[in-house]
Each structure stands twice: as structure tokens, then as C-alpha cells.
Amino acid sequence: MIVLGAVDGSEHTDIVVRQAVRFAKLMDADLHLLHVVHLTGLYYSALAGVLIDETELEQRLVASVWERVEPLIESLDGLTVTTVSRSGYAANAITDYADEVDAELIVIGSRGWGAVKAAVLGSTSQRVLHETDRNVLVVSV
């Protein structure tokens, strides 16, 4: 059995990880933490004038997320934790990965990087709810 926690590196990541750990322990399940990076025009416009390779930017973003998560999972005795990074649209990647590993539960934050992004792009948690028939716990953040 697998509990899938979707992490984005925002300040709400800690809450999502804690709840995913809690449910993995309650369900005697393995924990998979998934981070999806999607470089959009928002990132590129923020980097105007800064010369950086897209691959390098993606690697830096992914590394910063796992640096934030590592202290939260390093002392989890008896819990198997798998960390995975994917590229693409977050909702699609989360539901696809949940299907791949046959996750029993998806844990996701109600919002990540903020209201403005959600208003423009839509909420990832809402999209996950609509795209999957799996159990989803939306953590209020």
C-alpha cells in the first residue's frame, strides 16, 4: 500500500509531508513523495536578463524542494520513503504517478505558491480531485 504526498517546495510543503507521514503510518503504507517541476513563462519572465540553462534551473528547483523535505523525513524509523521528481503539469503528473504505483491515498495542499497563480492557472488540488478516482486528502494550508 502506498500513500503519495505531492510536494511543491512552498512553505506549505511541511504540512503536506507531516500529514502524508501520519496517514502512511496509520495505514501501514509506504510513503512516496512526488515533486513536479514545470517551467512556465512565469519562471522565465522572472529570470529576464539572467542567463541560465533550463536544465540547470530545473535541477536547482528540484534540489531546493528535496533540501526542504529531507529534515522532515530523515528520522522516520520504520517508514519506507521514496522521493520522486517529474517534469510536466503538476495535476497530470500526480495522477499519472498515483496510477503507476497504485497509490491508496494522495495527499496534497489546498494551495501552493499562492492565490494569484491559482487564479490564473487553476488549482492543482482541484484538478487532481477531478482527474482521479483515488482517495485524495486536500490539506488546508
Q: Are 59 and 45 contacting, i.e. CB atoms less than 8 angstroms apart? A: no
Tell the burial category of 16 from Cβ atoms under 10 Å away from its Cβ (0-12, 13-18, 19+): buried
The answer on pLDDT for 51 being more than 90 is no
**Digit-coded pLDDT (tens) for 11-42:** 888 999 999 999 999 999 999 999 998 765 44
User: Rounded to whole angstroms, how far apart are CA atoms 127 and 83?
Assistant: 22
Q: Are 29 and 104 contacting, i.e. CB atoms less than 8 angstroms apart? A: yes
**Digit-coded pLDDT (tens) for 53-106:** 667 777 888 888 888 888 888 877 778 999 999 988 999 999 999 999 999 999
Q: Is the pTM of this model over 0.95?
A: no
Q: Are 89 and 38 contacting, i.e. CB atoms less than 8 angstroms apart? A: yes
